[in-house]
Amino acid sequence: MDFRPTNEQRLLRRTVREFAQTEIRPHIREWDDQQHFPTELVPKMAALGLMGIQFPEQYGGAGMSAIDYCICIEELARVDPAVALSVAAHNGLCCAHIALFATDDQKRRFLTPLARGEKVGAWGLTESTSGSDAAGMRTTATRAGNCWVLTGSKTFTTHGRVAEVMVVMAVTDRTAATKGISAFVVERGTAGMTPGKKEDKLGMRASDTSEVIFDNCRIPADQLLGGEGQGFVNSMQVLDAGRIGIAALSVGLAQGAYEAALAYARERTAFGQTISSFQAIQFKLADAATRIEAARLLTYRAAYLKNRGDRTTLESAMAKLYASEIAVRVAEDCVQIHGGYGFVKDYPAEKYFRDVKLMTIGEGTSEIQRLVIARRLLSR
């Protein structure tokens, strides 16, 4: 067992950290206030390989490992969790679904421009009446000659208004339950596909989240992804890997909040001394640093197993559950350590506190992670 990063991983961390510092940090407040998804950042991220982190070079990707992926997401989230969320949704949901289950021809056609960052991707599983209970979706796809016709809508879609390519899950056989759901690739501009309401969110405001509506949307039959009836099962596999990304995002966010709290505690004085000299503050910092390290280890273990080709349902859920829940605590303590300044926008604490709540909700709530974990434990 070797816990040390390789020289390449150290360099990767430094490179993404510097990128986030120079290209993202100056704009955080503006993008957050205006709920602006920074399309202008996409080519710059693409130049670093961040739009196709884990995908083979033959399909335009950067060919990095699952641990490298965690490092990239962590470093983006440390500075702006909203940008990290967009990168995680593009890579870990849309691109990953195509990379895992598409034919070679489909990969060349859809994955390559996504992984090169020429296009932004979205992934639609959730609907207004079915999130945790994703199999209860209502969107249907009906075969009509050489086409599939999609009807319904997807809710809370990351990049719903900005994506050029979307992977959409729809019911193709109502009688077959989870085996009656299929996945499709739909391109922006296809007649019958329109973006719906853009959500006005508590946090992660620079990441676009919107409804997407399908009204008799006809797509060619060769845009079925991964076989008829395989869409739900394949989505669960995509989420196994995606949750490692959300765990890494939580670790990075917590790291950013911890560093902000540490710096503030060293500067702020009360009762004639810096607040870092109070044991009550020191304990918060000690707990935060310890929890972050534990979350990082769980996350990297899941990534390591994924890299080996193992199924990581249990390890991904554990990493996602633990990392997201400690991130909420660290972000809250960051606000507390800032006192009143934790409540205003001049300091980063309040934004970490708003952004972090998504971590225990997106890609499966904490309750769902516990169900997944318990199911695996009880089936042994």
Ligand X SMILES: Cc1cc2nc3c(=O)[nH]c(=O)nc-3n(C[C@H](O)[C@H](O)[C@H](O)COP(=O)(O)OP(=O)(O)OC[C@H]3O[C@@H](n4cnc5c(N)ncnc54)[C@H](O)[C@@H]3O)c2cc1C
List the catalytic residues. Answer: 363
Minimal CB distance to ligand X: which residue? 131
Query: Contact region for ligand X (CB under 6 A) — 33-41, 58-66, 150-158, 218-226?
Result: 150-158
Q: Which is nearer to ligand X, 12 or 120 (CB)?
A: 120
**Structure tokens that stand for 68 in this block:** 């490298």
Q: Using DSSP, state whether 310 is helix, strand or coil.
A: coil
Asked whether 136 and 130 are in contact (CB, 8 A), the reply is: yes
Instruction: Identify the helix (H) or strand (E) that includes residue 372.
Output: helix 366-378
How far CA 229 is from CA of 75, 144, 153, 337, in Å, comes to 37, 17, 19, 51
Among 74, 80, 333, 363, binds ligand X (CB under 6 A): 363
Which one-letter amino acid corresponds to residue 201? Answer: K
Which range touches ligand X (CB under 6 A), out of 26-34, 97-105, 292-300, 357-365? Answer: 357-365
Q: Per-residue string for binding with ligand X, 158-177, x by CB under 6 A?
A: x-------------------
Using CB under 6 A as the binding criterion, the count of chain residues that bind ligand X stands at 23
Q: Which is nearer to ligand X, 134 or 275 (CB)?
A: 134
Which of 196, 166, 199, 162 minimizes the C-alpha distance to 35? 199
Measuring CA to CA, which residue among 351, 268, 301 is closest to residue 78?
Answer: 351
Q: Which residues in the 119-148 window bind ligand X by CB under 6 A?
A: 123-126, 131-132
Task: Decide if residue 35 touches ligand X (CB under 6 A).
Answer: no
> What is the C-alpha separation between 173 and 177, in angstroms, rounded?
8
In a 3-state reduction of DSSP, which class is residue 64? Answer: coil
Give whichever of 49 and 364 is closer to ligand X, judged by the CB atom: 364
Does 368 help bind ligand X (rule: CB under 6 A)? yes
Residues 209-268 that bind ligand X (CB under 6 A): 209
Phi and psi for 128 in degrees, rounded to 5?
-60, -30
Closest distance of CB 290 from ligand X, Å: 27
Binding stretches for ligand X (CB under 6 A):
89, 93, 123-126, 131-132, 156-158, 201, 204, 209, 358, 361-365, 367-368, 371
